[in-house]
Amino acid sequence: SNLQQVTKGNTIDTIRTAQLKVVYDKAKREKKLAEPPLVVNHQSCVYNGLLFVRSGLIGRFEDRKMWNQASVIDVYSITDRAYVASFYVYHIDQKKASRFFVHHDSFYAFIGTKLVRYTLTDMITSAYPPSNDTK
């Protein structure tokens, strides 16, 4: 009850309202979801002023073959409220990243029983706010 919204932003997906299909079960006299809801952003984490989001929807210009081989991570600047970049995290044994986190210039993801590490490019790390200490 004491929380106050500080800021609000948007991701680059085009979904603006929840896409839910609700049905009424007369026997139980209750409403329920007819199918699982559309998940737009599966996971996210924040590090040093950047928001990293694993997309749940294929992008308009996304290659279907690539979408089946890798997850897309979109990166946003929280301070500028702007899109920074996107990159792929490849599936291992048909498994997607179940969790991920970022530390300094490294992106870590748990994929199946493996922990993988990607080095973030300067395109991403140069978007870190200059006043923040990343150590």
What does pLDDT average to in each consecutive run of 10 residues of the chain (135 residues)? Answer: 77 66 86 74 87 80 82 89 91 92 96 95 91 53
CA separation for the pair 63, 55 (Å, rounded) = 14
* Residue 32 confidence (pLDDT): 84
CA separation for the pair 105, 125 (Å, rounded) = 6
CA separation for the pair 124, 106 (Å, rounded) = 11
Backbone angles phi, psi at 73, to 5 degrees: -110, 120
Digit-coded pLDDT (tens) for 35-55: 776 666 678 899 999 999 998
Digit-coded pLDDT (tens) for 116-129: 999 999 999 999 98
* Residue 13 confidence (pLDDT): 62
* Residue 34 confidence (pLDDT): 79
